[in-house]
Amino acid sequence: MADRRPQQDGSSMVEVLVTLAVLTIGLLGLVQLMTRASMAEYESYQRTQALILLTDMVEKINTNRKAAGCYAFSDAASGVPSLGTNSAGPTPCSAWGTAMEQARALADLNEWNQKLLGTAESKGGAAAGAMLGARGCVTFDPASSIYQVSVTWQGTTKTVQPTSVDPTLVCALGQYGPEEQRRIVATTLTIANLR
């Protein structure tokens, strides 16, 4: 008598293993995509915060125009000093405007310094509102009467060196390790000399 049991050749087991391998590769790709999306979202958040701080300082200078020179505390060639991370804070100035306008400029710079440090927002008692290693600079070019306001921070990945795009973007130069990780947003402001 012949044995009539069906033969199992294991082809369904191979199919299951191939399916699992394909599914695993797909899921790993999805995890990598989610990680990159999360990093891009974080970079976008930091850029948004930097633009808010940049606009804030430009508005403060515009509001206190007679003491605008008191806001220019950074050297245009070196980008130091800066406010924010590792800063000693702003110093008083007495060269422009009235004593009240000079006090307003110092208060504005102190407030901006605190915002760069992230003290405007906190999480669990720790400052959490600013970018990673946030620093701010304000320079003045007397030849063109142009102020440059810059906000820098450390990016999560390497991109392009800011000075290769614009050599005037020197705020916090060399403060973040590789220059490709230094992020910067900057704008210029001209104050008319109306006499």
Residue 134, pLDDT score: 94
Q: Is residue 170 domain-resident?
A: yes
Q: Taking Cα atoms as reference points, which of 84, 91, 73 lies closest to residue 49?
A: 84
In the block, tokens 């515009």 appear at 62
Q: Is residue 141 domain-resident?
A: yes
Q: Is residue 33 domain-resident?
A: no
Residue 120, pLDDT score: 67
Q: Is residue 10 domain-resident?
A: no
Q: Which pTM was predicted? A: 0.81
Domain range for 61? 48-190
Task: Render pLDDT for 114-155 as a digit per residue (tens, 0 to 9).
Answer: 999 987 666 777 666 678 899 999 999 988 889 999 999 999
Residue 115, pLDDT score: 94
- Could you give the number of structural domains in the chain? 1
The token duo for 189 is 């402001």
Q: Is residue 53 domain-resident?
A: yes
Q: Pick out the chain residues at pLDDT < 50.
A: none
Phi, psi of 182 (to 5 degrees): -80, 120
Task: Render pLDDT for 182-195 as a digit per residue (tens, 0 to 9).
Answer: 999 999 999 876 55
Q: Is residue 7 domain-resident?
A: no
Q: Is residue 29 domain-resident?
A: no
Q: Is residue 111 domain-resident?
A: yes
Q: 34 with 113: CB under 8 angstroms?
A: no
